[in-house]
Amino acid sequence: MKSKSKLKIFLAIGIVSIIIAGCANSNDLDMMKGMDHSKMNVDSIQTQSSNNTGSIFTDETTRVDGKEYTITAQASNLKVSKDKTLPVWTFNNSVPGPEIRVKVGETVKIKLKNELEEPVSIHWHGYPVPNEMDGIPGVTQDAVVPGKTFTYEFKASIPGTYWYHSHQDSVNQLDKGLYGALIVEDPNDSYDRDYTLVLDEWMSFV
C-alpha cells in the first residue's frame, strides 16, 4: 500500500519569502530514505548549548502547541559546520524558532519577551489575525523594546503552513534568524508523516 505523506516546505530568503505547501508522493520521498525523518525539522547541525569558552549555542528547534507559550528573543551562536559558527538572533535559542503547531479553532497565545538589544516583534506572515496582533511596528503596534514583553493572541481560523518572523528591521533581523513555522492543522486532513522544512540563505555572515 502506498503511504501518503505530506511534505511541507517553506523558504525564508531575506525579505523575499516563498511559501510552498503541498503533497509529495512516495517517489519524491525515496531520496530521503535512510534519513532520520523524525528529526528533519530539527537540523542535526544544531546541538549543544554551551562550550568551555562560555559561549551560548543554539538548541534544537522544538515543537509547541502555542496555546500559552513564551517566546524569548535572544542572541546565540549557531554551529553550521565543523569549523563555522554564526552569531545569530533566535526565538527561544533555536534557528528556526519553535514550530508552533495548533488545530483550526484553537487560540494561539504567545508572549514575546525581548532579551535582545534591539526592538523586535512577531508578524504572522499571511495569517489572518486581528489588526492589533499583526506585529507590524509603527503600524499595528509599537515594537517590543529590550526587556519588555507583548502577548499575541488570535484564533487559528484557517488551516495551512505559515511562518512568523520579526517585522522590525526585517532585512537584518530575519537574516539573523528571527523566524519560525506556524502550522495550523486541519482535523479532516490525514497523512502518515508530516515534515516541516525551513530553508534560509544566510546573507549577512558570508
Strand order in the sheet with 193-200: 16-24, 5-13, 193-200
Residue placing its CB nearer to Cu ion in the complex, 13 or 45: 13
Cα–Cα distance between 67 and 83 in angstroms, integer?
38
Q: Which of 58, 61, 109 is nearest to 87 (CA)?
A: 58
User: At closest approach, how far in Å is the CB of 204 from Cu ion?
Assistant: 18
Residue placing its CB nearer to Cu ion in the complex, 77 or 150: 150
Strand order in the sheet with 69-81: 84-91, 69-81, 107-114, 149-155
> Interface with Cu ion by CB under 5 A: which residues?
125
Q: In this chain, which residue has its C-beta nearest to Cu ion?
A: 125
User: At closest approach, how far in Å is the CB of 143 from Cu ion?
Assistant: 15
User: At closest approach, how far in Å is the CB of 31 from Cu ion?
Assistant: 30
Cα–Cα distance between 184 and 192 in angstroms, integer?
17
Residue placing its CB nearer to Cu ion in the complex, 5 or 175: 175
Element (H, E) at 114: strand 107-114
Residue placing its CB nearer to Cu ion in the complex, 5 or 173: 173
SS3 call for 30: helix
User: At closest approach, how far in Å is the CB of 42 from Cu ion?
Assistant: 23
